[in-house]
Structure 1
Amino acid sequence: MAVVMELLTWPWFLLLFIHAADCFYVPGVAPINFNEGSDVEIKAVKLTSSRTQLPYEYYSLPFCQPDKITYKAENLGEVLRGDRIVNTPFNVQMLKMKMCEVLCKGPATLKVEQSKLIAERIREEYYVHLIADNLPVATRLEVFSGAEEDDKKKPKEYQFEHGYRLGYTNNQKFYLHNHLSFLLYYHKEEVDVDEKPTFRVVRFEVLPQSIKLEDLKTDDKGGCSMPEPPFPAQEIDPTKENKVLFSYSVHWEESDIKWASRWDTYLTMSDVQIHWFSIINSVVVVFFLSGILSMIIIRTLRKDIANYNKEDDIEDTMEESGWKLVHGDVFRPPQYPMILSSVLGSGIQLFCMVLIVIFVAMLGMLSPSSRGALMTTSCFLFVFMGVFGGYFAGRLYRTLKGHRWKKGAFCTTVLYPGVVFAVCFVLNCFIWGEHSSGAVPFSTMVALLCMWFGISLPLIYLGYYFGFRKKPYDNPVRTNQIPRQIPEQRWYMNKFVGILMAGILPFGAMFIELFFIFSAIWENQFYYLFGFLFLVFVILVVSCSQISIVMVYFQLCAEDYRWWWRTFVVSGGSAFYVLIYAIFYFVNKLDIVEFIPSLLYFGYTALMVLSFWLLTGTIGFYAAYVFIRKIYAAVKID
């Protein structure tokens, strides 16, 4: 903690960081006050499985349906996440206990196709996600100690998992959780004496049970009686029709948890100490890099500059070091300047988007209670940050002696977003084939295209226009007409070796946080420790900048002036390690064996790696560019 406090220079930043790291709830959805007997609507979100990565709508399975099915209007983020929030026939009132209620007005008959589908979903380990007052349902799991101290085996602690399991398998037989015991916690609000008391829902738990039809005795009023345990489970035979009785019970308990802290159960599942370890590890990496950089700049670079600026013994000095020898070629425009400026413009877009999103989320304004807000904000911010991406791309393109600014702006608009859209469209076709709710509807795709060409394209052209008209970057030395011959390079100056060397330290600064991000994406977990993530992002920016400066200095000392593309590629070397980690995570953490889920995983992971490469490569490129302009401005060139 002390190490982190030394890094945080500004007191307001420290307060914001601790504020967000402790998961304190800052403005989100307004609380709803319930009177006794008021309806508390139970809605369904979707079905998910970490084995298939394919979400499905709740009514894709033959659950009991209300008289009228009503879908909630969803934002862009919810649609992209595969959420399809819909009403359910569960009848729940505030503080009204229900011992056992029957759905579907009696036993439901599952056809062979429906039975087979349910059995398949159970085998694929699907979870059902419900919400009450926008609070997701959780299943409480008891964790026992390994030692058998007494016969009671009292649990020492609890763990929660999101949603509840659709069913389970035993001896190659499938059993459906057809009875749900809802446990809702409420907090009583303080009111005046004359006013009626109001209550707020602060936790939503469920105990799923599998009870055979014959053991659930029903009456004419829609009630039922629970059998005494142990009782036989409801088996689903996929080869024939099955009769199932869906039922539920409701229990209320008062809680001291206040409404503002009701998400703590979901957001504090991960160990905060691990995040502190990640921060300390990242700080050590940055200090290590700072030491190397200080040694180079203070001891080596200053000595070089002092020797270069001596009036005598110039020839001997030039033999000692080589970076001044390439002063006439170091700012020579590279190959494909339009593509380079375009990818760097997209990198600027990503950088601005990530910085703003993480900072705003750190302040608590993108709470998980605002479903889809994080993804919606990211999409819109990337579109609107096109004006900055276009500006930087246009100015760099003019610096590199480019002339076709309209073509360059169009290239910036379509190059990176085009790759993302093409990959997502292909993957979406496979998801459509599986009839998954994760498939983006055609209308949403049209809306995304309209955002791309109706908002992003004009903004990029606008920024590119002003950036191209702006005075190009002032390079401190002139470029020779004839390129200098590049000497033979040693093996460690190979580009791939440079990627391995430059990527390991930035990756080491953030790989622990990467584990939690992957868990949130691929295992349907919540991630909300954006205070830690913001600090890790700052450390990543610093480490990428430092390692880029070190690598470009070594390259120039080897008299290789082709640094433009090389710096961009090498600075994004940590993306290579992210790819290796993603493969490791797939093999060791996920239980995916089918083709389409594997294709989705590696398709979306490839886009993540590409985006991370653009982001880190852009950071390293501009750090190296500033460094090169500074050192060549500090020496006297005849």
Structure 2
Amino acid sequence: VSFMVCSSRVNRNFLVRSSFGFYLPGLAPVSFCEKEDYSCSLQYKLYYICMHFYARTDLRGNTFCFRFDFCKDTDERRPSENLGQVLFGERIETSPYKFSFKADKACVKVCTKSYDAGSREDKLKLDFLKKGMELNYQHHWIVDNMPVTWCYIVEGNQKVCNPGFPIGCLVNQEGKPKDACVINADFNKKNTYYIFNHVDITIVYHSGDETNGMSPRLVAATLEPRSVKHSDEDSPSCEGTPMDIPAEFKSNLKVTYSYSVKFQVSTIWLKISKKALPSISPYLLMAQLHLIFFSIMNSLVIILFLSGMVAMIMLRTLHKDIARYNQMDQEESGWKQVHGDVFRPPRMGMLLSVFLGQGTQVFIMTFITLFLACLGFLSPANRGALMTCAVVLWVLLGTPAGYVSARLYKTFGGENWKTNVFLTAFLCPGIVFVDFFLMNLILWVEGSSAAVPFGTLVAILALWFGISVPLTFVGAYFGFKKPGIEPPVRTNQIPRQIPPQTFFTKLVPGIIMGGILPFGCIFIQLFFILNSIWSHQMYYMFGFLFLVFIILVITCSEATVLLCYFHLCAEDYHWWWRSFLTSGFTAVYLFVYAVHYFFSKLQIIGAASTILYFGYTLIMVLIFFIFTGTIGFFACFLFVNKIYSLLKVD
């Protein structure tokens, strides 16, 4: 199943091919042949793909993506995108680059773009193109739904492959080549732009196995960009001096785009390495895997340490404390002394119950999404599937959110059930939607094609109000019908006075310490996730991510339980909000890391791009805050209920 998992897209002959094996939904491979029939395809179609992080310097990249004066395909319509692609700002356009299977071609003209020095419109187009080369904007092409990669040699003689290639480069006024201009010594004119108007494309395919009825399939696609000044645009030779564009536009200019394509047969199914991991070299892959294994081993050491601490508390300290207390010959002290106040309802119990309801919804959604991704159902080859799955699951999980929120609110003794249900259905989703709408409004104003269309926003609102909200009301109805959770000990009428606390048992220091260990378990995976979001690198390590997810849940639970026990021993019984905020503070570290990533890894220009980055980051931080806070709360809730249920209290 392995190569099927990493294959391209749904084949139109899925039912015909299904007898040869099991394909995960949406990932059946496409077969090619020299003569097209019902079971295979003859044509390779190359598509332009644009995303809102098109350039690392400008997060409004789609503002410019389709405004560049490149060769356009006017004969075909854009392929439809799913909800996940639209929300991520991914747009796909057809291109005039089309190839027939096993038909090698050399120096084929695609189109010619002419620029008249006396035309203001042509001057703007050329200035726009030069600005893109100066900012190192890149093409992103796909064929058979697989990135066309550009491989080059870096320091240390290591080969690195990227899923995009630059549209051109610049040699500045000092004669220093910038970005991709360093790869060619012929790029030596000062204050000159060099456009990559020619590409040598190599398509690697597997010949198939006729005995098993398996037709040839694409396993890799690479290219090498070149800058060529074509002397004869009608009969290009693709040899000669580079296509230079002077910084000052004084004379007419023509740029001819061309390509060459060749097919190579492979006897090995390379689709796993070339399709799922198109943007890294084997050396870099090994370095990343070593880093990930180190991170996981570090996380496991943290878990063992915390587990040992929890086991020592549960099996030694608590066991002895409970035994002495139940003998009735020992005075109350520490956590036993606050048994009459530990289940006193918290302040702002409604808000806490709303956060916990939403956190339960996010937790279940995240678990199911990562589990499906780990199995391969949400492969990166199936574009937008991860986001689509997450949104659909969130919509369908309104019932658990309403039930948990209502049940806990009733446990806290709340009576304003209408307000509770309303806030559960609208508070957190409303904050996320308003933030997302404001970011989308900026993209609309900037004219970016990454902006979510108005119709899609209406569809999202319809899913929210039409499905999620009613399901939340249904869950709240069943939650309020049940009695509140009965505490194991009675609560005193008069609150007990809390003694003076040391520095480490105060609220703020305890919360700050509580988020360090969970964040230490995830920060390396967080680096890869941020790279996949903002630096156009494909994320493929869902197995590791699911393992880190489990580690995060365990670490948040154990760290919160430990701090909760220490605070109860200090006779501070305000544990409800403290348990939520202790693990939830991990989100603050996530935000700090995102700020560090912004200044160290991205070279963002412009106020709009900065606002977009931090606007979307705040959405992630809020969701992560609710998610981790819910984990810590329920772990602490179970712990407190368990230890006080063992006490014999009159």
Same fold (TM over 0.5): yes
Task: Give the structure 2 partner of residue 165 of structure 1.
Answer: 166
| Contact 2:6–2:379 (CA under 8 A) maintained in structure 1 | no
Offset at 1:256? 2.7
Q: Which AA in structure 2 matches 1:184? A: I
User: Any gaps of 5 or more consecutive residues in structure 1?
Assistant: 1-15, 146-155
1:253-280 residue CA offsets vs partner (Å, 9 max, x unmatched): 1123427535144276542222211111
Corresponding letter in the other structure for 1:218 = E
Query: Are the aligned partners of 1:44 and 1:58 in contact in 2 as well (CA < 8 Å)?
Result: no
> How far is 1:107 from its partner?
4.9
Q: Match for residue 594 of structure 2?
A: 582
- Give, in whole Å, the separation in 2 of the partners of 1:24 and 1:539: 30
Query: Aligned match of 1:293 in 271, 288, 310?
Result: 310
Aligned to 1:92, the other structure's residue is in SS state strand
CA contact (8 A) 1:76 1:372 kept: yes
Partner of 1:41, secondary structure, is: strand
In structure 2, the CA distance between the partners of 1:532 and 1:85, relative to structure 1 (3 Å rule), is: same
Separation in structure 1 between the aligned mates of residue 568 and residue 562 of structure 2, nearest angstrom? 10
**Corresponding residue to 2:56 among 50, 60, 63:** 50
After superposition, residues 319-338 of structure 1 pair within 5 angstroms as 321-338=333-350
> % of aligned pairs identical?
42
**SS in structure 2 at match of 1:263:** helix
Name the counterpart of 1:61.
68
In the TM superposition, what is the alpha-carbon distance from 1:591 to its structure 2 partner? 1.5
- Taking the aligned partners of 1:106 and 1:437, their CA distance within structure 2 comes to 23
The answer to whether the aligner puts 1:130 opposite 2:141 as a matched pair is: yes
Match of 1:539 in 2: 551
In the TM superposition, residue 587 of structure 1 has moved relative to its aligned partner by: 1.7
Tell me the distance in 2 between the aligned counterparts of 1:362 and 1:310.
51
Distance 2:573 2:91 in 1: 55
Deviations 1:385-443 (A, max 9, x none): 11111111111111111122232111011111111111111111111222222211111
SS at match of 2:260: strand
Q: CA deviation at 1:491?
A: 1.8
**Are 1:91 and 2:91 counterparts?**
no
**Alignment partners' CA distance in 1, 2:593 and 2:498:** 36
Measure, in 2, the Cα distance between the counterparts of 1:216 and 1:59.
28
In 1, Cα distance between equivalents of 2:124 and 2:589: 45
Q: 1:134 to 1:259 in 2, by over 3 A?
A: farther
What runs of 5+ residues in structure 2 fail to find an aligned partner?
A: 9-22, 36-41, 173-190
The equivalent residue for 1:211 is 228
Residues 115, 242 of structure 1: 8 Å contact kept: no
What SS does the aligned partner of 1:485 have? coil
Counterpart of 2:464?
A: 452
Counterpart code for 2:159: Y
Scaled by the length of structure 1, what TM-score is found? 0.89
The whole-number CA distance in structure 2 between the counterparts of 1:331 and 1:580 is 34
Instruction: Indicate if the aligned counterparts of 2:279 and 2:537 stay in contact, CA closer than 8 A.
Output: no
Instruction: From the superposition, tell whether residues 178 and 562 of structure 1 become closer, same or farther in structure 2 (CA, over 3 Å).
Output: same
8 A contact 2:440–2:451 mirrored in 1: yes
Q: Which residue of 1 aligns with 2:176?
A: none
Residues 614-637 of structure 1: CA deviation (Å, up to 9, x unaligned): 111100000101111111111111
* Residue among 216, 238, 243 paired with 1:233: 243
Residue in 2 aligned with 1:562? 574
1: distance between equivalents of 2:258 and 2:194? 15
| 1:589-615, Cα deviation, whole Å (9 max, x unpaired) | 212232222211111112211111111
**1:148 match:** none
| CA–CA distance in structure 2, aligned partners of residues 475 and 585 of structure 1 | 45
1:461 Cα offset (Å): 0.7
Residue 632 and residue 67 in structure 1: after superposition, are their counterparts in 2 closer, same or farther (change >3 A)?
closer
Q: How does 1:304-453 map to 2 (within 5 A)?
A: 304-312=321-329, 314=330, 317-318=331-332, 321-453=333-465
Select the residue among 124, 145, 155 that pairs with 1:113. 124
**3-state SS, counterpart of residue 66 of structure 2:** helix
Q: Which residue of 1 aligns with 2:177?
A: none
Secondary structure (helix, strand or coil) at the match of 2:201 reads strand
2-side partners of 1:383 and 1:69: how far apart? 34
Letter matched to residue 31 of structure 2: N
Amino acid aligned to 1:233: M
Given residue 535 of structure 2, which amino acid in structure 1 is its aligned partner?
E
Partner letter of residue 197 of structure 2?
N
1:153 is aligned to none
Quote how far apart the aligned CAs of 1:131 are: 1.1
Match of 1:610 in 2: 622
- 2:43 equivalent in structure 1: 39
Secondary structure of the residue aligned to 1:476 is: coil
State the 1:527 CA deviation.
Answer: 0.9
Distance in 1 of aligned mates of 2:510 and 2:501: 13
Q: CA deviation at 1:87?
A: 1.1
Give the structure 1 partner of residue 184 of structure 2: none
Tell me if structure 2 keeps the 8 A contact 1:116–1:238. Answer: no
TM-score normalised by L of structure 2: 0.87
Higher relative contact order structure (alpha carbons within 8 Å, sequence separation ≥ 6): 1
Residue 183 of structure 1 aligns with which residue?
A: 202
Deviation at 1:346, TM superposition (A): 0.7
* C-alpha contact (below 8 Å) 2:198/2:238 kept by paired residues: no
Alpha-carbon offset, residue 103 of structure 1:
1.9
How many pairs does the alignment contain? 596
Q: Hey, what does 2:236 align to over in structure 1?
A: 224
Equivalence for 1:30? 28
Q: Which amino acid aligns with 2:232?
A: K
Q: Report if aligned partners of 1:119, 1:236 keep a CA contact under 8 Å in 2.
A: no
Asked whether the equivalents of residues 357 and 405 of structure 2 are also in contact (C-alpha less than 8 Å), the reply is yes
Kindly tell me: are residues 579 and 122 of structure 1, through their superposed partners in 2, closer, same or farther at Cα, counting changes over 3 Å? same
144 and 216 in structure 1: CA distance in 2 versus 1, 3 angstrom threshold: farther
Supply the RMSD in Å over aligned alpha carbons.
2.3
CA–CA distance in structure 2, aligned partners of residues 476 and 24 of structure 1: 55
Residue in structure 2 matched with residue 174 of structure 1 by the alignment: 193
Q: Are residues 23 and 178 of structure 1, via their aligned partners in 2, closer, same or farther at CA, if it must alter by over 3 Å?
A: closer
Would the aligned equivalents of 1:216 and 1:227 in 2 still touch at CA under 8 Å? no
Residues 599/133 of structure 1: CA separation in 2 closer, same or farther (3 Å cut): same
